[in-house]
Amino acid sequence: MKRICIDINSIVPLFVKGFVSGVGGTTLELLKALSEMNDELSFEVVLYSQNMKGIGGRNLNLPFKNKHLYLPHRIKYDEFLGKYPVREIFTRYDLLHIPHNFEYVHCPEKTLVTLHDVLFYAFPDELTVSKEKGEKIKKLATDCKAIATCSESSGRDIQKYLNIKEEKITVIPWGVSSVVFYPESEEKIKLFKENNGIKFPYFIMVSCNIGRKNTISLLKAHRLYLKSKGNYDLVLLWKNPPEEILSEYSAEIISGKVHFVDSLNSDDLKTAYSGAVCSFFPSKYEGFGLPILESMACGTPVVTCNNSSLSEVGQDVALYTEPEDIEHISEYMFNFENNNLKISQEVLLNHAKKFNWKDTAKKYVEFYQKNLD
């Protein structure tokens, strides 16, 4: 039986910090969905991890074999593994899957890469990776056997910025877990609001930052909304916001109209979404846009932007605005407060169900099988 080795190092923070998000979160959900198909697979799955603490696949309690290399997960050690076939001998894989954009690999011709986006080229002002790291990602994308990505938009950007042929790219959308995200009870919502000092109905934005995340436009729109006698609060899931933001919006913070909430576990995040009147996600660029689906799965409508992958995810169920259209965003707030915008919770939930991890896992199995043959 042939063997697929999946690098799971992006999941390790789950057992160190207690939660994992972003790339690590999608990898974890993919593995869970694959585990439910384990008896049907025509190949063997092995989970590979690397650190000195022994944290790895065995911590996940999934029905896959695990290989853990007691070696620091640091650049100089990873570069060593890229030069010598240590991982290859250790795991004896037929195909290696890197689900987190990049890794140093010895045999790129036997490697599959999930490239979530090419932000470092499409939005160069965002310092997510160095120019040198960007070039290394480009080289791996060029040399690897095949690429999976999570949206048609990201697929087009990979072709455009990395000069990768279309036939090398497979688009497999991410899902949203109905076990993790669903409408929460009023009792838990009330407790969440009490714990965070929220006394009014509120709008929410998760995945906040300056730059392409464009949280500053939402803050400006909410300030305009408040000056025009709007009553609802704004909750921002933003760890360590810049001092200049805290200073600029100190009046709103002190008055309790703007709330900065630190990192939340999945249960609290579900409650935060569920309690919101609307979820705003005015990002200028996304490889996928999971907050759109997470919010809808909790029965909360979404206002986002019609760019990059966002309209693929929101389709005709989300509401759209331009990233810098402060007045339009403010109008949405008024319309929600005045009940002028009524989106059926059933419509939201049904749309979220279209993006499920079971379908994602099935498409990854096809992706693996195609490249094993």
151 in a structural domain:
yes
116 and 259 in a single domain? The answer is no
Q: Which domain holds residue 75?
A: 3-175+356-372
Give the tens place of pLDDT for each residue, 233-252. Answer: 999 999 889 999 999 999 99
The pLDDT of residue 128? 66
Q: Name the nearest CA neighbour of 350 among 299, 279, 304.
A: 299
213 in a structural domain:
yes
The pLDDT of residue 127? 61
181 in a structural domain:
no
The DSSP symbol for 235 reads E
289 and 148 in a single domain? The answer is no
Q: Is the model's pLDDT at 317 over the cut of 70? A: yes
304 and 225 in a single domain? The answer is yes
Give the tens place of pLDDT for each residue, 331-340. Answer: 999 999 999 9
106 and 235 in a single domain? The answer is no
Give the tens place of pLDDT for each residue, 143-167. Answer: 999 999 999 999 999 999 999 999 9
Q: Give the count of domains, the chain.
A: 2
The pLDDT of residue 130? 76
The residues, ordered by sequence, that sit 6+ positions from 217 with a Cβ below 8 Å of its Cβ are 282, 323, 324, 326, 329
368 and 341 in a single domain? The answer is no
State the residue for tokens 């199995």: 365
Q: Name the nearest CA neighbour of 156 among 356, 309, 340, 361.
A: 309
264 and 199 in a single domain? The answer is yes
129 in a structural domain:
yes
361 and 330 in a single domain? The answer is no
Which CATH number is 242's domain given? 3.40.50.2000
9 and 109 in a single domain? The answer is yes
347 and 360 in a single domain? The answer is no
Higher-confidence residue of 322 and 265: namely: 322
C-alpha dist (Å) from residue 257 to 35, 118, 206, 209, 210: 44, 36, 17, 19, 20
Between CA 336 and CA 303 the distance in angstroms is: 11
Q: pTM of the prediction? A: 0.94
29 and 135 in a single domain? The answer is yes
The residues, ordered by sequence, that sit 6+ positions from 93 with a Cβ below 8 Å of its Cβ are 3, 4, 5, 46, 110
